[in-house]
Amino acid sequence: MNRNFLDFEHPIAELEAKIEELRHVGSDNALNLEEEILRLQAKMRNKMESIFRNLTPWQMTQLSRHPQRPYTLDYVGYLFTDYQELHGDRAFADDQAMIGGMGRFGGRPVMIIGQQKGRDTKEKVRRNFGMVRPEGYRKAQRLMELAARFSLPILTFIDTPGAYPGIGAEERGQSEAIARNLEVMSKLPVPIICTVIGEGGSGGALAIGVGDRVNMLQYSTYSVISPEGCASILWKDAKYAETAAQALGITSDRVMALGLIDEIIPEPAGGAHQNPEEAAANIGKILEKQLRDLTKLDNSSLLESRYKRLRSYGRFSE
């Protein structure tokens, strides 16, 4: 198997290498080998469990950015049938860091929107590393309004380091594009469910993150600023990213404790990339239940409870 291992996964990598090695050794005394392989596999599972039970926020940050982590279109493949992608903001361009389209979820038509990262170098560039430009947010807005016109529920998948900080993006109104989405999403009369599947990078993530239910995959992160960015501002050095990751409370359990998400979706042992199909099935289960609950509400109670929810964000004293 050709896999990228993160630093803290090395004990797992070593065991896996050993297993591979044994598999390639001749099949003379096949019985004995088989036993040894089983033993090592059990050991590897234990090791993985113990490592993943005590992940630090920084390790989770690395996992959320894992080069083999399933991206939006991977989940689209597992979760939806009859997916048809729709393109463009009708004003400037088609931003490929943001994908959108219609598909069927359990037979029912839905609108799917999400940031998309690239797998190989060429695709990474085409997808701009998942950093969306204004035209991407405006495409998302257009598709969400389209969904509302035809009463399609909206399912968004969040995975971005942040909105793209470039000259053109500023010229074309990056702030306005994000801000408008926040306002529009707060009042679209269809169910909106948002799921953070990888990196939930600040305003660029929130721009498709306002809804009736918000979920995070277990090892995803959601943050007001990247740990590196925070470290370079508050600690005056990006090297303190690990400390900042801890301080910012960006992991699913911390965000849950703040009351900002509804569900932490469990990931397969070792993270979603170890078994994308299982991760997708876990997401599917939650989405199905949430969609069922939300569909029961009429429009005005849907919007009223969404407003209440947004309005309740914050901790202060008075």
- Tell me which residues touch another protein (CB under 8 A): 163-167, 169-176, 178-180, 182-184, 186-187, 202-203, 206-207, 209-210, 222-225, 229-230, 233-235, 244, 247-250, 254-255, 258, 260, 306-307, 310-311, 313-318
Least distance to another protein, CB of residue 219, Å: 16
CB 137 within 8 A of CB 177: yes
Q: Which own/partner contact pairs does 274-278 have at CB distance under 8 Å and 24+ positions apart?
A: 276/70, 276/74, 276/75, 276/78, 277/78
Of 79 and 248, the one with the shorter C-beta distance to another protein is: 248
CA distance 115 to 80: 17
CB 118 within 8 A of CB 148: no
CA distance 256 to 263: 8
Of 76 and 302, the one with the shorter C-beta distance to another protein is: 302
Burial (0-12, 13-18, 19+ Cβ within 10 Å), 268: middle
The answer for residues whose C-beta is within 8 angstroms of residue 229's C-beta and 6 or more apart is: 238
Of 73 and 210, the one with the shorter C-beta distance to another protein is: 210
Closest to 134 in 3D by CA, of 161, 105, 94, 75: 94
Least distance to another protein, CB of residue 139, Å: 17
Least distance to another protein, CB of residue 258, Å: 6
* Residue 295 token pair: 């569909």
Of 64 and 273, the one with the shorter C-beta distance to another protein is: 64
Least distance to another protein, CB of residue 184, Å: 8
Of 53 and 315, the one with the shorter C-beta distance to another protein is: 315
Least distance to another protein, CB of residue 2, Å: 31
Of 111 and 261, the one with the shorter C-beta distance to another protein is: 261
Q: Residue 124, Cβ neighbours under 10 Å: how many?
A: 14
Least distance to another protein, CB of residue 206, Å: 6
